[in-house]
Structure 1
Amino acid sequence: MKKALLPLSLMLLSVQAQALTLIHAGQIIDGRSDTPMQQATLVLDANLIQAIEPGYRAAAEGDSVIDWRDGTLMPGFIDMHTHLTFRGGEGAYLEPYTLNPADVALRGVLYGQKTMNAGFTTVRDLGDMGNASVALRNAINKGWVQGPRIYTAGTSIATTGGHADKTNGRNLELEGDPGPKEGVINGAAEAYKAVRQRYKEGADLIKITATGGVLSVAKSGENPQFTDEELKAIVAAARDYGFKVAVHAHGKEGIRRAILAGVNTIEHGTYMDKDLFPLMKKHNVALVPTLMAGEYVTEKAKIDGFFPELVRPKAAEIGPKIQTTFAAAYKAGVRIAFGTDAGVFEHGDNAREFSLMVAAGMPPMKAIQSATSVAAEVLGEPKIGILEPGRFADVVGVRGNPLKDIQLLERVSLVIKDGKVVKIPRGEQAD
């Protein structure tokens, strides 16, 4: 039996091009070029960028137009170091005893929305509780809730008593003896098991704490906490499972060991110096500086009782050094990928990091690129970070020119993620 043919009019409708979104921009910073494009049109087709054209393209029937002729468009920002399910500040040290992973994940929905509304359409989440960030990522990907595109490490990996050993500071009855499943390892075999456990739990990358840290209830903020053998085992296992490795590290020796083991990023890097800068460059390891975290803990260390007494001196010593190290690293040519450690401070304030980077000597365009094309390349995601045809339609906009006033990035007023407008000034929806 022959199939009935559709009427010609219906056939034409079925192949008709989908309506486009045109954004008329006064300036476009594409995330890669050092020279912005002036008076141009960004063309979005569903969730992809179709074109960038000089001048202001006229809309065809059915197209939508967003008038951004007095502003600047950029790729959606990428924050390479967040904790979307964590909250610092008063009472934070009690939360493991008062909140369940479900509570933390649900609160993360709010923090994710704040982060995305600030212009950050993609984040790396580097350490959570109870796999809450994996649940949050999955809910966002399924469209259940709104939030940034998340690449999560799940539970961080530490050594016994190390920075991410969550039992630090507990009494003997509660301390227990956490192992690889909980993210605590001792020896190469347990390193493999911990990486495989993260794979089993659905992580996107591995996060380890190679040195002491500021906020953990432990004495040292900089001592090396993994042996060479443990680090090499983590990196080898990570490569087997297609993971990149992000490394919390303040102290120089822990940084050196991690670089030589083959990791991908150093987070914070506080005591990195001229001896390590060439090593970072040789092994193509990026620095994720987290200047806002340094600024925050420096200020809070001045307040009596804000931090536990074991934490306070570490915050006062390490916090002020991070920006100075960043300035020297950038001057030495170390690759910089934008990251804030949001969750240590208030979620949604992430864009202040741009101002701190510029104050330390990084030009505004390079700071923007660190949060767009550079971050995307370090992350290993070829579909984000640059405004060009074929990439995801992740777009942020500010009124004015951030190359002249970097603080404008703290007032993002247009956010588009995956082709969907999630923030736009009231009354300025696409025509």
Structure 2
Amino acid sequence: MTPADTPASTPAQTPAQTTTAALVLEDGTTYRGRAYGATGTSFGEIVFSTGMTGYQETLTDPSYHRQIVVMTAPHVGNTGVNDEDPESGRIWVSGYVVRDPARRVSNWRAQRSLGEELAAQGVVGISDVDTRALTRRLREEGVMRAGIFSGDDLVRGGYPRPVEELVAEVQASPQMAGANLAPEVSTQEAYTVEPSGEHAGQPPVATVVAVDLGIKAMTPARLAERGVRVVVVPQSSTIDDVLGAFADLPDEAPRGVFFSNGPGDPGAAGHEVELLRAVLDRGIPFFGICFGNQLLGRALGYGTYKLGYGHRGINQPVLDRTTAKVEVTAHNHGFAVDAPVFAEDGSPAISDAPHDGGRYGRVVVSHVGLNDQVVEGLTCLDRPAFSVQYHPEAAAGPHDAAYLFDRFVGLMTNPSAWPPALTTQPAAQPAAAQLNSEENH
């Protein structure tokens, strides 16, 4: 039976849903619909997410800061919103686009509707949009800036505002390329997450300093349940701050540094790259996720580039070249590392890290995206460091890649076993995949 205090009997529409709204792309394409959530104006880079579940985790992922998210799943909001599933303390998307919002909530965990939550947090959205046509346009033309306008913001002097005027506002909004956004989403004060579950109250198996570039709450939780004490520090932290967190540890105590996911252009994150090089120079075990993977690539001397439309969803296939297994993984990234993926014979390419004459040794692309051959992970063969482009904490998403946290714990507690051996020699990439990869550059 549905508890009496659930919103299952709420009205079919919130007042905002009866208000006209417009989604305007920077190329002038316009979609008309109804306001969903708050009314007003919002700008951002418009991207699409292919996940069919987990919209609450998507909305509260700081990596979506300054982005308008289009949901490709047609029905959104069925399970409502609760206070247990958010990945941070607020919704970070700048706008939200759906086709058919749920008319009523139907889930025993729901505490309110998604539309109510968007409105309460001031997130401007739009519904009743042909999201299939919109996604196809973004696939063909690439992600771009967009704006959502609704309510009084669509009217001037009692008349509808000209589309040309709305397009001009969108074109004047900031671009994602060159944006340094991690300082806007990072914690301002350090905090500690102690070992949990069966390790609660026990001495930590390792201590990790996690640099918050837009960290999701589930990430330190995944480490904590493996017996790790996690000290989360601000993006602005220096190497002295990192070493200070280890000051009270015995010399032999396992330790490591983690770089989280986050928004923005990795090419603009100069401070974080220098911090990571200081970590590598000291031989401290390192693990990076998503933005952290891109920053490891740049610290090693590889370039990064913007993908045509990025990877966003919870159903992306990735090959782990150390296990020869294909994982279904959760993604949210619009940039990628430009490192050699294949040798001439189609085997995994091993290259010398370009920075400073190769001082960080050899590197292999350890994980490859099977849709387009994009770099999905890096492993240093001569340094205790590795990273992946996707989200092994799986909030929300599949749990195929949870073993990567075990790999990190193993790197800290048994560094002599590093690096993991490659166990697969994939055939040369298909011509279609090669073409796809080249188009994304």
Q: State if a TM-score over 0.5 links the two structures.
A: no
Normalised by the length of structure 2, the TM-score is: 0.26
Higher strand share: 2
Higher relative contact order (CA 8 A, sep 6+): 1
- Higher relative helix content: 1
